[in-house]
Structure 1
Amino acid sequence: MATVRQMLDKKGHEVYTVAPDVTVFEALEKMAEYNVGALPVVDASGQIVGLFSERDYARKVILRGKASKDIPVSEIMSTHVLYITPETTDWQCMALMTDKRVRHLPVLEEGRLVGFISIGDVVKSIMDEQKFHIEQLEQYIQRGMS
């Protein structure tokens, strides 16, 4: 099983964040610029205070008839933020994401934000592992037939 640390080493450790006082529109612009579906919301001290996602926008702005240029992210962000550590395995991430129905998880190490993974990152990691195991089994079978 791969760890989150290994996933981040492949993917990169860069994390795009947003402050709680920026408008939803500005946060959406940033998400589009970086092609991401969610952003950790980080206060001036660097602490995660929430998570802003496309789902938050759809359910808390659009469906309620609000204007994204008038609302701060802090008004609609999810404040109950699940997180993982670099030692968490990809399978543990998948279980947590499936159970809690979340698509993004911040990675914290000693209280510091050190990464951010999506369900796509986790699926890719598990698929890579499965591919490796299949190749190993094929080689084993071929050696046995020789």
Structure 2
Amino acid sequence: MKTVSVILKEKGQGVWSISPKSTVFEAVKSMSEKEVGALMVLDEQDMVAGIITERDYARKVILKGKRSESTLVEEIMTPIDKMYTVKPELTVEDAMVLITAKRVRHLPVFENNQLTGIISIGDLVKAKIAEQEMLIEQLSNYIAGRYA
């Protein structure tokens, strides 16, 4: 079974981040420019303070009538103690169960208390599709007699 660490190797382990003192407007602009749905929030010591997502923006700014130019990231982010995180050895299937059960779209990946990457629901779906395509190819080859 494929693991989270394999997904990170395939997609790269780069993580985009922002300061908790930045405005939500800056965060949304950064997400748009980088074509991502979440940013890790890092404090002055580059320690993970939380995560901010497009959903946070929609639910905690837009629907509450707040202004993104004057609302700080720290006001709407999900703090580290409330984030759902995973370890690199977690299987894709278990990550999918967690993302579905907790109704989140992004899972930061930690190893030895260090942020090593972030996976999204899209990353998990791509991994599952690739696995299914490989299985279909193997079965087709078997049926066609290409495997002994």
What TM-score results when the alignment is normalised by the length of structure 2? 0.93
Partner of 1:58: 58
Q: Which deviates the most, 42-51 or 13-22?
A: 42-51
Equivalent residue for 2:73? Answer: 73
Q: Distance in 2 between matches of 1:96 and 1:46?
A: 27
Aligned position for 1:15: 15
- Alignment-derived partner of residue 43 in structure 1: 43
Decide which moves more: 40-49 or 116-125. 40-49
Amino acid at match of 1:108: F
Q: Counterpart of 1:29? A: 29
- Residues of 2 paired with 1:39 and 1:124: CA distance? 21
Q: What secondary structure is seen at the aligned counterpart in 1 of 2:18? A: coil
**Structure 2: runs of 5 or more not aligned:** none
* Structure 1 residue 18 displacement after superposition: 1.1
Q: Secondary structure at the match of 2:78?
A: coil
- Alignment of 1:92 onto 2:85: no
1:43-92 Cα shifts (integer Å, max 9, x gaps): 12232221111111111111111111111100011121111111111111
Give the match for residue 138 of structure 1.
140
Coordinate RMSD, CA, aligned? 1.4
Of 106, 109, 112, the residue aligned with 2:108 is: 106
Q: Which amino acid aligns with 1:24?
A: V
Distance in 2, Cα, partners of 1:90 & 1:47? 26
Task: Describe the superposition over 1:96-133 as per-residue Cα deviations: whole angstroms up to 9, x where unpaired.
Answer: 00000000010111111111111000000011001111
Larger deviation, residues 43-52 vs 5-14: 43-52
SS of the residue aligned with 2:136?
Answer: helix
The match for 2:121 is 119
Number of residue pairs matched by the alignment: 145
CA distance in 2, matches of 1:57, 1:22: 13
**Amino-acid identity (%):** 49
Task: Could you list the structure 1 runs, at least 4 aligned residues long, displaced by more than 3 angstroms after superposition.
Answer: none
